[in-house]
């Protein structure tokens, strides 16, 4: 009974998350000029109690609105937030998932953080090898503490 409940809960959560797409050329345009020197410090909440820590700061890209398309290729705008995830699928069908607000370009590389618990650990993937970009609100309980972003 417990396994059935957990399975239904997970299935509901997966189905309730809408996936949007960013064409590679649109991604290049949206991130044009955004490199490590253009990041700004943001502060987000810590959704679970950790020894009195209620928030932490990290460098984030300055993008406020993400321009995507839905499954019917209709334009969609979504607000950037710390719970937005971006998935890159490369030409070998390997996937890399970053938190959207941590992504920036460094020459021909896409750099981003895969973890909120250790945001200083970054990974990089070649932009020219990307064939599909998906964006989704992971529905995690992260939000910006201040309203600057």
Distance CA 59, CA 38 (A): 9
End-to-end CA distance of the chain: 43
- The residues with which 110 forms a beta bridge, in sequence order, are 105, 125
- Cβ atoms of 133 and 110 within 8 Å: the answer is no
Percent of the chain residues past pLDDT 70, beyond the cut: 83
What CA–CA distance (Å, rounded) separates 136 from 86? 7
52-61, 76-85, 91-100, 122-131, range with the lowest pLDDT: 52-61
Residue-wise DSSP of 44-66: EEEEEEETTEEEEEEEE----EE
Instruction: Count structural domains, the chain.
Output: 1
143 within some domain: no
What is the per-residue pLDDT for 50?
65
Task: Examine residue 116 and state whether it is found in any structural domain, yes or no.
Answer: yes
Q: 33 is written with which tokens? A: 């000029």
Residue 32 located in a structural domain: yes
pLDDT exceeds 60 at position 9: no
3 state DSSP class of 90: strand
Residue 80 has pLDDT above 90, yes or no: yes
Q: Does residue 23 carry a pLDDT above 80?
A: yes
Place of tokens 């253009």: 38
* pLDDT bracket for residue 140 (50, 70, 90): confident
**pLDDT for res 121:** 79
Q: Is residue 142 part of a domain?
A: no
Residue-range definition of the domain harbouring residue 95: 19-137
Instruction: Establish if 73 belongs to a structural domain.
Output: yes
- pLDDT over 60 (residue 8): no
Q: Report yes or no on 6 lying in a domain.
A: no
How far apart (Å, rounded) are the C-alpha atoms in residues 118 and 102? 12
- Whether 10 is in a domain gets the answer no
Q: Decide if pLDDT at 14 tops 50.
A: no
55 found inside a domain: yes
Q: pLDDT at position 139, please?
A: 81
Tell me: pLDDT of 41 over 90.
yes
What is the percent of the chain where pLDDT is above 90?
65
């Amino acid at each position: 009974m417990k396994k059935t409940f957990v399975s239904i809960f997970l299935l509901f959560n997966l189905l309730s998350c809408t996936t949007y797409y960013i064409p590679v050329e649109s991604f290049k345009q949206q991130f044009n000029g955004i490199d490590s020197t253009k990041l700004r410090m943001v502060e987000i909440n810590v959704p679970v109690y950790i020894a009195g820590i209620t928030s932490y700061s990290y460098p984030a890209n300055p993008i406020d609105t993400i321009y995507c398309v839905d499954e019917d290729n209709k334009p969609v705008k979504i607000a950037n937030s710390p719970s937005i995830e971006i998935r890159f699928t490369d030409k070998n069908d390997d996937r890399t998932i970053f938190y959207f607000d941590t992504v920036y370009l460094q020459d021909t590389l896409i750099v981003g953080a895969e973890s909120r618990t250790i945001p200083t650990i970054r990974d990089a993937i070649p932009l020219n090898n990307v064939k599909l970009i998906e964006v989704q609100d992971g529905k995690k309980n992260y939000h910006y503490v201040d309203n600057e972003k």
